[in-house]
Structure 1
Amino acid sequence: MTPRPRIPPLRAPRLRIAHTADLAPAGLRAVRDLLDVAFDGDFSDEDYDHCLGGVHALVYDGAGLAAHGAVIMRRVRHRGRWLRVGYVEAVAVRADARRTGLGGRVMGALERVVDRAYDVGAVSASDAGARLYAARGWQVWAGRIAAHGPDGVVRLPEDEGSTFVRPALAGSLDPAHELVFDWRDGDVL
């Protein structure tokens, strides 16, 4: 009788939470590579820079990095008060691992960070990403969006309707008053 070939066991996807400072250069390279592929080459150096300096949720499977997302701290002025925002960045799932729940695992980990460490959560969503955030209870911000730029407050109408807030504190936010985010290079949101 011929012995059967040994088939390695399938490795369940493994979630890792780490600050940018705890990721080795090879790990950061894997994140950048995943983002470049997942966003079809439309992920700029500034976009990548925006996801650094915070907490990353990384899901690994037998083929390597399968999903990623990060939450970084930003500031937003609302009703005359500056709030600490857990801003979600760079959520992506490798093409062959999409629709398997990995995006939800990443978001669950990031939401835990947002809920425990920030006044409010926010994310600017693509059309594809909007479905994930809405399904998890994030709410489209119904008010005006602006940023405090080098020359003062600048309204960002292109980000209205695609910016979501985390519902834990969304009830304390009033859409009659704008959200004024801190400025940054590249896409402000």
Structure 2
Amino acid sequence: MTDLLVTHTADLGHPDLTAARALLDEVFEGDFSDEDWDHSLGGVHVLLREGRELIGHGSIVQRRLTHEGRALRTGYVEGVAVRADRRRRGHAGRIMAELERVARSAYELGALSASDEGAAFYAARGWQRWQGPTSVFAPEGVRRTEEDDDSVFVLPGTARLDRTGALICDWRNGDAW
């Protein structure tokens, strides 16, 4: 039996945060940086447990994306992972359902950057690939992020979007998207 916990970073104790970080390090095979972890904090987490073991995690944090001259309050999905030996059982779908509920209830749109492996999963859930150019508000000004053009997905909400237009994310350390 699995238990799902939806809670804010502020309400997670050290053991849960440590377990979530360890899970992400394991699932991403050492390719989950300190900046990636930092991006996952400060919002709502979805933890999936079997007994006392953490087998899945995802979070959604607030970011500002700019589109057509408007700053949009965006629920940005981070750190979605399910332990390798627990995949293909619907766990990622349960985690995403909660993150999507938060995105639709609290934000103008949802957004995420998908790996090549995850793109089909998100598309099947109704996330739409951004078709226009992506950029970041970097310290030196707006900078194109061509390497991210094909990986950004949005979950439309109340914001009017032209998915062929430009989309600019706020600055943060590490990966922009």
TM-score range, shorter chain: over 0.9
Q: Which runs of 5+ in 2 are unaligned?
A: none
Partners of 2:137 and 2:156 in 1: how far apart?
A: 24
Q: Which among 24, 43, 49 is matched to residue 32 of structure 2?
A: 43
Name the residue aligned to 2:93: 104
Shift of 1:62: 2.8
Partners of 2:38 and 2:9 in 1: how far apart?
A: 11
Instruction: Give the total of aligned pairs.
Output: 177
Q: What one-letter code is carried by the residue in structure 1 that aligns with 2:169?
A: F
Name the residue aligned to 1:175: 163
Partners of 1:17 and 1:146 in 2: how far apart?
A: 31
Partners of 2:164 and 2:48 in 1: how far apart?
A: 39
Name the residue aligned to 1:4: none
Q: Secondary structure at the match of 2:74?
A: strand
Partners of 1:136 and 1:92 in 2: how far apart?
A: 16
Q: Secondary structure at the match of 1:164?
A: strand
State the identity as a percent.
Answer: 55
Asked if 2 retains the 8 angstrom alpha-carbon contact of 1:17 and 1:55, the reply is yes
Shift of 1:187: 0.5
Which of the pair has more CA radius of gyration? 1
Q: What one-letter code is carried by the residue in structure 2 that aligns with 1:71?
A: I
Q: Which among 136, 143, 146 is matched to residue 154 of structure 1?
A: 143
1:59-90 Cα offsets, whole Å, 9 max, x none, are 00136001100000000111111000100000
Partners of 2:158 and 2:72 in 1: how far apart?
A: 11
Shift of 1:129: 1.4
Name the residue aligned to 2:71: 82
Q: Secondary structure at the match of 1:60?
A: strand
Partners of 1:164 and 1:175 in 2: how far apart?
A: 10
What are the within-5 Å matches in structure 2 for residues 9-158 of structure 1? 12-62=1-51, 64-158=53-147
TM-score normalised to the size of structure 2? 0.97
Partners of 1:134 and 1:77 in 2: how far apart?
A: 22
Asked if 2 retains the 8 angstrom alpha-carbon contact of 1:144 and 1:175, the reply is no
Shift of 1:176: 4.0
1:135-184 Cα offsets, whole Å, 9 max, x none, are 101010011100111010001011011100003357x2113421111000
Partners of 1:35 and 1:169 in 2: how far apart?
A: 31
Q: Which runs of 5+ in 1 are unaligned?
A: 1-11
Partners of 1:175 and 1:137 in 2: how far apart?
A: 14
Tell me how large the CA RMSD over aligned residues is. 1.1
Partners of 1:153 and 1:181 in 2: how far apart?
A: 9
| Structure 1 residues 109 and 63: CA distance shift in structure 2, 3 A | same
